[in-house]
Amino acid sequence: MNLIRDLAELKNEVRGVKSEGQSIGFVPTMGFLHEGHLSLLREARRKADYVVMSIFVNPTQFGRDEDYEDYPQDLEGDQKKAAEEGCDLIFFPEKKDMYPPGYLTYVNVEEITEVLCGACRPVHFRGVTTIVAKLFNLVEPDRAYFGQKDAQQALVIKKMVEDLNMNVEIIVCPTVREEDGVAMSSRNKYLQPVERKAAQIIYSTLLAAREKIIAGERNAEVLRKFMWQNLSQEPLADPDYVEIVDEKKLQRVDQIQGPVLLALAVKFGQARLIDNLLVEV
C-alpha cells in the first residue's frame, strides 16, 4: 500500500491509474479508523480497481471552540487497518498544502446545511463540502463512499455533486454499530466508561420512536417530545437537537406521511454524538 503526502505525487499516481483504464473508489476520512470506515473501504474494494483513502483532519469544518486540536489520530494503526482491507493508497496531505497562505475559495451548499447539525455548527458543512470538493479534484474518483451515520453530510455531498456536475457517484453505506447499538465514531474515544454506557440511550431512543411510528403515531411533535423525554431520563445526556425531518430536504415535518429521518445530536461530557434512523411508512 502506498502512502502519499505530496499533491503533485498524488496527481501523478492518479494519472497513471486512469491511463490504465482502472476505476477509482475513494473513502475520505479524518483518520482514527474504526469498523465504520473499514466497512466503507470493503465496499469500495468490491467494485473499484484501485482504492484510495484520504486521512486529513480538516480545520475548516471545525468551529472555533470545537475539537480540531484534540481530534484523535493514529496514522500507524490506520495504515495497518487500511492495508488489511486491501486499500491501495492512503493520501495524507498536510494542512499547508490543502490550505496554503492566501487560500480564499469555499464551496457552500445552501438550505440543507442550515438545519440539524448546521444550526449548531454554522461553519461545519462549508468546510466539509470545500475539502471534499478539493479531494474529488485531486483523487478523481469514479465512486466515493460515505456513512449513513452522517446522513446530513451524505445528503449535502450528494447535492454538491449534483449541482456542480461532478463526475463521481456517491454511495451511502449503513451505519455500523457496537454490540449495544452505539454508532461507531472516532469521537466515542472521548467518552468516559460511564458516558459510553449512557450513550446507549441514543439508539434505544431512536428505536423506541420508530416503534411508535410503526404502531401508528403520525404526530411528529408528539414523537419529538417523546424522544426528548426519553433522552432526559439519562442524567449524563445533554441533547443538542432531536428532530424528525423529511429525508430529502431535511425540513421539519408536522405529520408523518412518508419516509422520515429521526435525527439527534447529544453531548456526553466532552463528546458530541450524532445518530439517525430512516423510517419508511
Whose Cβ is closer to ligand PAF: residue 50's or residue 146's? 146
Least CB distance to ligand PAF at residue 178 (A)? 18
- Answer for the pair 153, 125: CB distance below 8 angstroms, yes or no: yes
Least CB distance to ligand PAF at residue 150 (A)? 5
| Contacts of ligand PAF in 148-167 (CB under 6 A) | 150, 153
161 residue type, one letter: V
Q: Is 176 an interacting residue with respect to ligand PAF (CB under 6 A)?
A: no
Three-state secondary-structure class, residue 273: strand
Measured distance CA(50)–CA(26) in Å, rounded: 9
- Given 28, 37, 125, 227, the catalytic residue: 37
Q: Which of 33, 41, 128, 202 touches ligand PAF (CB under 6 A)?
A: 128
Least CB distance to ligand PAF at residue 139 (A)? 12
Query: How many helices (DSSP H) and strands (DSSP E) are in the chain?
Result: 10, 9
| Contacts of ligand PAF in 59-78 (CB under 6 A) | 61
Q: Is 58 an interacting residue with respect to ligand PAF (CB under 6 A)?
A: yes
Binding mask 9-48 for ligand PAF (x = CB under 6 A): -------------------xxx------------------
HEC readout, 192-261: CHHHHHHCHHHHHHHHHHHHHHHCCCCEHHHHHHHHHHHHHCCCCCEEEEEEEEECCCCCECCECCCCEE
Residues 6+ apart with CB under 8 A from 19: none
Q: Is 277 an interacting residue with respect to ligand PAF (CB under 6 A)?
A: no
Whose Cβ is closer to ligand PAF: residue 58's or residue 175's? 58
Residues 6+ apart with CB under 8 A from 193: none
Measured distance CA(58)–CA(124) in Å, rounded: 10
Whose Cβ is closer to ligand PAF: residue 17's or residue 131's? 131
- Is 124 among the residues known to form the active site? no
Rg of the chain in Å (alpha carbons): 19
Residues annotated as part of the active site: 37
Point out which residues bind ligand PAF (CB under 6 A). Answer: 28-30, 58, 61, 128, 131-132, 150, 153
